[in-house]
A and B are shown apart, each in its own frame.
Chain A
Amino acid sequence: MSSTPLRTPLATWHETHGGRMVDFAGWWMPVQYASIVDEHLATRQAIGLFDVSHMGRLTVEGPASLAWLESLLTRRVADLAVGQARYTLVTSDEGPDGLAILDDALVTREADAPDGTPRLAMVVNASNRDRVVAWLRSQLPAVGVSLADRTAETAMIAVQGPLAVATVCVLCGDDDAGRISGLGTYRATRAVVAGQPAAVSRTGYTGEDGVEVVVAADAAEAVWQAIHDAGRPRGLKPCGLGARDTLRLEAGMPLYGHELLADSDPFAIGLGLAVNLDDAAARPRRFPGRDALAAMKRSPAPRVRVGLAFDSRRAAREGSPVVAVGLPVGTVTSGSLAPSLGHAVAMALVDRAVAAADTPLDVLIREAAQPAKVVPLPFFKRRAPQT
């Protein structure tokens, strides 16, 4: 990793507003401003404002772009409607058994070009961006698709929480506000937010309602500040990566490098929905690693992802052993205090025999056995939005 972390267009804002900055995946990012717990709870109760500009943003355009991505991604994309987003895995066939999961990604079909040419956007993890871009470039056809890495020239702002959408809408004209508030989950639109052209999607990584807003890098601070100021009277807090992690953990969402690894079995970790082995007409699709994934689906893995709930606030951490009557049965992949719940939770990969809800297990936390029980994911589910 380079010695000087990259700065998002909002790094100076974070530094001047008390952000505790760390090097995360090569980016200089706030882990928190004051309290992770307060930031977490503000997101659950009102609005959390997150700089997620470190995430990789790619565009794929051209007459063959839909067909090309359809041939590369585990999820069907050929039938994406304009303004629709899907969660997918990015795989190559260069792994030991003909499969390497390079990343998980969100692919969105943005508004077509005026001549009808499809335009797609992909958001990938910061830690995987270089190798995903290199892999995709190696697979480009001679003509018909152009791939661009837009990470440096744009910023991405996540506005999450029950009051998030309404707050963004006050910064938009009536037409745009109506379209944004009417967006379904995993739907996206173009809009002008705080006077700046933006791509707005009803997506996020917190388990809350909310949007993610992509704007030009030089507009980022103005848009961020406008959302911040509009949301402040409603309880908005700027949030760092610490709260982002506790929120996604409570929401039971996997994180690449923790729950999801290059050799993971997606069907065993609750990501079967991200793998379409067949097309809509039940014919086998073709994409890298498809045969290996089909074999995984036929032969279920011995260990599956579960949620663990503790009575205590003491957190298991990644790598903590899970035991049942003294025998090793699994490993924790993520763990923390769950601020919304007031006790610790963890996600773990455990043997199927002990994966049923309410199974009592022990987790070794610094050698001490801590009692836990298996609970359904997600740990936290938001209330239905008030209408």
Chain B
Amino acid sequence: MAADMKFAKTHEWIRPEAGGLATVGISAYAVEALTDLVFMQLPAVGRKVKAGESIGEIESVKAVSDMYAPVSGEIVEVNTALPGQLETLGKDPYGAGWIVRIRPDDQAEMGTLLDQAAYDALVKS
């Protein structure tokens, strides 16, 4: 796992990419906790979002959960293949299971998120 990956308390991960972009997904812990995923709704490309704003829904057999933008920015790409093969989230949550790419308004905002150790401590508590 990339050392520069950060996590939101709401279980999204974000990883900086070349060209000032960042990739966002949901953590393996969250996928494991949800289980039995049946539906995902992605945001529109071009949408401007604020940190903490809902960028879509993920639904399991038991419940619907929102997915939140870990930082403010513009949605520049969405993983359109993912809703049709949600099992990818379980197999490769930090790779092929990516959800959106975002152009952060402020790269420094990622620094306010949890690092891997802090996130691991959060979900184990």
Contact = CB atoms under 8 A, between A and B. Distances in A.
Interface of A: 31-32, 34-37, 242, 246, 312-315, 317, 336-337, 339, 344, 366
A318 to B, nearest CB: 12
B61 A314 contact: no
Nearest to A317: B64
A314 B56 CA distance: 13
Contact of B57 (A246, A313, A366): A366
Contacts of A315: 38-39, 59, 61
B115 interface: no
A321 B34 CA distance: 25
B105 interface: no
B51 to A, nearest CB: 22
B38 A36 contact: no
A336 B57 contact: no
Contacts of A313: 38-39
Given A36-B62, A315-B38, A366-B64, 7 more contacts: A35-B35, A37-B36, A242-B62, A314-B38, A314-B59, A315-B39, A337-B36
Question: Which 7 pairs, one residue from A and one from B, show the smallest C-beta to C-beta distance?
Answer: A314-B39, A313-B38, A337-B38, A36-B61, A36-B36, A37-B36, A313-B39
Binding site of B, secondary structure by majority: helix, strand, loop or mixed? strand
Nearest to A22: B62
Interface in B24-61: 35-36, 38-39, 57, 59, 61
A312 B39 contact: yes
Contacts of A32: 35-36
Nearest to B33: A20
Nearest to A242: B62
A272 B35 CA distance: 38
Question: Which interface residue of A32, A34, A35, A315 has the most chain B CB atoms within 10 A?
Answer: A315
Contact of A35 (B36, B39, B59, B64): B36
Given A312-B39, A313-B38, A314-B38, A37 B59 contact: no
B39 A336 contact: no
Contacts of A312: 39
Given A31-B62, A337-B61, A36 B35 contact: yes
A356 B61 CA distance: 28
Interface string B67-88: 0000000000000000000000
7 contacts: A32-B35, A35-B35, A35-B36, A314-B39, A315-B39, A315-B61, A344-B38
Contacts of A37: 36, 61
Contacts of B62: 31, 36, 242
B37 to A, nearest CB: 9
Contacts of A34: 35
Contacts of B35: 32, 34-36
Contacts of A246: 61
A34 B36 CA distance: 9
A249 to B, nearest CB: 11
B3 to A, nearest CB: 31
Question: Which interface residue of A37, A336, A339 has the most chain B CB atoms within 10 A?
Answer: A37
Contacts of B61: 36-37, 242, 246, 315, 336-337, 339
B30 to A, nearest CB: 14
A356 B59 CA distance: 30
A35 B61 CA distance: 9
A372 B35 CA distance: 25
B38 to A, nearest CB: 4
A31 B63 CA distance: 12
A36 to B, nearest CB: 5
Nearest to B57: A366
Contacts of B38: 313-315, 337, 344
A344 B57 CA distance: 16
Nearest to A342: B38
A62 to B, nearest CB: 43
Contacts of A314: 38-39, 59
Question: Which interface residue of B38, B39, B61, B64 has the most chain A CB atoms within 10 A?
Answer: B61
A31 B61 CA distance: 11
Contacts of B64: 317, 366
A317 B61 CA distance: 11
